[in-house]
Amino acid sequence: MSGAIVKRTPFFKILIANRGEIALRVMRTARRLGYGVVAVYSDADRDALHVREADQAVRIGEALPAQSYLKIDTIIAAAKASGAGAVHPGYGFLAENEDFAQACRDAGLVFIGPSPEAILAMGNKAGAKEIMQKAGVPCVPGYQGADQGDAVMLTEAKAIGFPVMIKAVAGGGGRGMRLVADAAAFPDALRSARSEAQGAFGDPTVILERAIVDPRHIEIQVFGDRHGNAIHLGERDCSVQRRHQKLIEEAPSPAVTPELRARMGAVAVQAVKAIGYEGAGTLEFLLDRAGNFYFMEMNTRLQVEHPVTEAITGLDLVELQLRVAGGEPLDLKQEDIPFSGHAIEVRLCSEDTGHDFMPQSGTMARWQMPDAIRVEHALQSGSEIPPFYDSMIAKVISHGKTRDEARGKLICALEQVTAFGVTTNQGFLIDCLRHPVFAKGEATTAFIGNNRDALLAPRPDRGSDLALAALLLYVTNPHAPPWQRGRSLSATFPLGLRIDLGHGVQEIEIVPERDGSYVATRNGDRFSFAIDELDQDSIRFHHDGLMEQAKFLRDGDRLYILHRGVTLSARDLTLAPPESASAAGGDGKVRAAMNGRVVAVLVKAGDKVAAGQPVMTLEAMKMEHVHTAGVAGTVSAIDVAEGEQVTTGKIVVEIEAAA
């Protein structure tokens, strides 16, 4: 199944057919081993860090992945033009595309990954399940037939029994995946999954699986070489997910015993040996409460979460990839692989957790990562986060002797992350790590859903946040009296401010006291501050008997604050006119909530719609987002077409409100 052994010539330069943090990650190891590195970039990534760090870089097209990072012929031509002898696909995009691996082979390039035959066999979810079933590996009951007709799919879903999972056969990362509770919701979910799969992977084919209730998501890291050797590097627990995309990964799993690890590892090694697999791969399983595990799929590539395996084994997985691709045998025996301590990784994403994890794009005005911990990223202050790619912007990885130590280190590190300019899930990740269920090691794939209200609850000290924002807006105002240590004022004048911290406009008054301190007053509540130090980007102050610190950035009427591990974004609306109902769609105009591409217009002019009814679907950062009517009425205009790229705030549908 792996095909004929292909004699490969040595390579000295590697083209990395990817972008962002994984491109930089591969470059780091490649250079340590003495290889030259070539980057590719789309128009959106012309000034990206991975382009600047490479020895050479080649433009491969326009911003959309289909016009750049998914163009096989263009990437092969870039490798040839640069003199690269090998191609590393990273993850995502073409990493699990057998046509790309075959094109590299045909062009005389070393594909740093498995053979096209192995990718075809295991990269397709339906085909992989068939192979596993023949090998006696337990699989989730489902349907992976060739007949993809709507009626057939609904019939099969009913036969499997609801709830069911719809999954794209190609790719991964939660794209093209839907959990469907009943038959009534199935047609819309099927259409959406197909559309998302087509956009992300170029293949709308899906399979159906019975939904296992509250499982653990456990994956086994494997490696094989062309000499018939295969090993596993233990498991990772990837149960904490939103929208079927992983957010937190750890190794080892709190739920896996040494006996279970040996059983799952043996199954994984047997599977890769059976297909003559070469390179890095991951077999993913669902683990139920009774300890039964079911094969889901195999990822025929390096995983996003590979750093946690590196942390507990001390191995460089990219180095293993490069050595195996160069024809070297694995020099590791299963019994010799060390496992030490515990590692946890979180995915820092540019998304608004308070608005259904909606992806965010824009300029990262200030970007500072903690020093004493591993962080994989490709940003710097001033970097643009485009709307065309995945929302993950960094991975933060901790390692400790125990799970509690690793968890504590990670929380401390996240509290130091400075990400001003684009909303991230920083605070949400901290809340997940602190939650008692996660702390006890009991999180399943239902963790976020079951604890959503607690994880997304407003901060209890919102009044204090507002007061601090008001203080900083006051002292950073170019027209305010400059703060000076120990200075007393001969006269003080209160200043009324209107501030929005993302939860509506709030009125607050700042009064400079004669002793140099400040009092913020809101609805009768008083907050006193004494400033000890004030720099261009940080403040140290006393409040409620405590000395505290905060980082901040003033950008016009916008203020960003990092305080107690939480990033706040405040707008000074003191001089702004009151906002109208249009901000919430109450004027009948539906506006794009983010930069993205229109993938479905669900209504037409003249249609009657109810408030909350879906009218348009927008794709941004590889995920679909349904936009709904703000009022009941009649559709008077459709202002976009399917396939059109729109910017945040653009009117897409207009509705004449019912009388």
What the block records as the tokens of 263 is 């059983």
Q: Is the pLDDT of residue 172 over 70?
A: no
Mean pLDDT of the chain: 91
Instruction: Summarize pLDDT for 320-353 with one digit per residue, the tens.
Output: 999 999 999 999 999 999 999 999 999 999 999 9
Starting at the edge strand found earlier in the chain, the sheet holding 177-180 runs: 142-143, 206-210, 164-168, 177-180
pLDDT recorded at residue 626: 87
What pLDDT is attached to residue 150? 95
Top mean-pLDDT range of 388-402, 459-473, 608-622: 388-402
The whole-number average pLDDT for the span 212-236 is 95
**Reported confidence tier of residue 3, pLDDT bands at 50, 70, 90:** very low
Beta-bridged to residue 520, according to DSSP, are 510, 527
- pLDDT at site 173: 65
Contact 5/327 with Cβ under 8 angstroms?
no
Angle at the Cα of 348 from the Cα atoms of 69 and 419, rounded to 5 degrees: 105
Beta-carbon-side half-sphere exposure of residue 10 (alpha carbons within 13 Å): 4
64-117 confidence digits (pLDDT tens): 999 999 999 999 999 999 999 999 999 999 999 999 999 999 999 999 999 999
Dihedral over Cα of 92, 96, 102, 108: its sign = positive
pLDDT class of 482 with cuts at 50, 70, 90:
confident
Two tokens, residue 286 = 């669902």
- Residue 156: band (very low, low, confident or very high) from pLDDT cuts 50, 70, 90: very high
Evaluated on CA atoms 303, 308, 313, 315, the torsion sign reads: positive
pLDDT at 492: 64
Q: What is the mean pLDDT of residues 129-155?
A: 87
pLDDT tier at 6 (50, 70, 90 boundaries)? Answer: very low
| Between residues 624 and 72, the one the model is more confident about | 72
- Residue 403: pLDDT band with limits 50, 70, 90: very high
Residue 524 vs residues 240, 468, 508: alpha-carbon distances, Å: 42, 16, 10
**CA distance linking residue 379 with residue 376, whole number of Å:** 10
Query: What is the pLDDT at residue 411?
Result: 98
Predicted confidence (pLDDT) at residue 8 exceeds the cutoff of 90: no
The two structure tokens encoding residue 475: 């002292």
Alpha carbon separation from 241 to 125, 214, 414 (Å, rounded): 20, 12, 18
Stretch 622-626: mean pLDDT: 77
The whole-angstrom separation of Cα 466 and Cα 523 is 12
Q: Is residue 558 among the annotated active site residues?
A: no
Query: In the beta sheet, which residues pair with residue 293?
Result: 287
Active-site option among 25, 175, 236, 301: 301
pLDDT band at 583 (very low <50, low <70, confident <90, very high): very low
| pLDDT(2) > 70 | no
Q: Is pLDDT above 80 for 609?
A: yes
Give the pLDDT score at 125: 73
Q: Are 423 and 393 in contact (CB under 8 A)?
A: no
Separation CA 136–CA 319 (nearest Å): 33
- The pTM (predicted TM-score) of the whole model is 0.85
**Number of CB atoms found within 10 A of residue 302's CB:** 26
Confidence of residue 646 (pLDDT cuts 50, 70, 90): confident
What's the confidence (pLDDT) of residue 137? 81
> Residue 50: pLDDT above 70?
yes
CB 33 within 8 A of CB 322: yes
Q: What is the CA radius of gyration of the chain?
A: 27
**Is there a cis peptide before residue 163, judged by omega within 30 degrees of 0?**
yes
What is the predicted pLDDT for the residue at 490? 53
- Residue 412 sits at the vertex; the CA angle it makes with 252 and 451, to the nearest 5 degrees, is 65
- Percentage of the chain lying above the pLDDT 70 cut: 95
* C-alpha torsion sign, points 84, 89, 90, 94: positive
